[in-house]
Amino acid sequence: MRARSLTSLASQLLLRHGLVAWPLVRMIFALALLMTLSPPLPVGGGVSLGVIGFSVAVAMIAISRRGERVLLANLGVDVAQQVLLLALPALLLELLLGMLLGLIAGEASAALSA
């Protein structure tokens, strides 16, 4: 389960779990922040790391609930490899979100200065 097998079926399963967990965690974060009257979509070091960590935790719970822990172990996928593959979508999506929000902020300040 090295990089060469990032496209393997087991890796795809883990990436899918990570992909599903991220929006869920982001939504919970946004709701929690809205309740404290803070901006709902903060990005950056600490927050993004927190979101990635929670996403991995949520995905691990989903794996456990769906009875896939034994399946993955019998496929030879270590817990460390699972964490890595589950974190990957959240990491990429956090980067994308950061870039998107940066772009929007840039556009907004350009519009304001014009």
Partner 1 sequence: MLVADSIAMHFGDRRVLSAATLRAMPGELRVLLGRSGAGKSTLMKVAAGWLAPDSGIVRLGDDVRLRWSPAALARGGVFYLPDDGALGSALPIRQQLAMFAERYPGGDAPEAAMERLGITHCADMPPHRMSGGEQRRADVAAVFVRRPRVLLADEPLRGIAPIDQERILEAFRDLARAGAAVVVTGHDVEALLDGADHVTWCTSGTTYELGAPARARAHEAFSREYLGRA
Specify the residue, 11 or 55, whose C-beta has the smaller distance to partner 1: 11
The answer to whether 26 and 45 have CB atoms below 8 angstroms apart is no
| Cα separation, 72 vs 114, whole angstroms | 56
Kindly state the smallest distance separating residue 73's Cβ from partner 1, in Å: 4
Kindly state the smallest distance separating residue 27's Cβ from partner 1, in Å: 22
Q: Please give the residue ranges that form the binding site for partner 1 (CB under 8 A).
A: 8-10, 13, 66-68, 70-79, 81
Kindly state the smallest distance separating residue 81's Cβ from partner 1, in Å: 8
| Cα separation, 25 vs 52, whole angstroms | 9
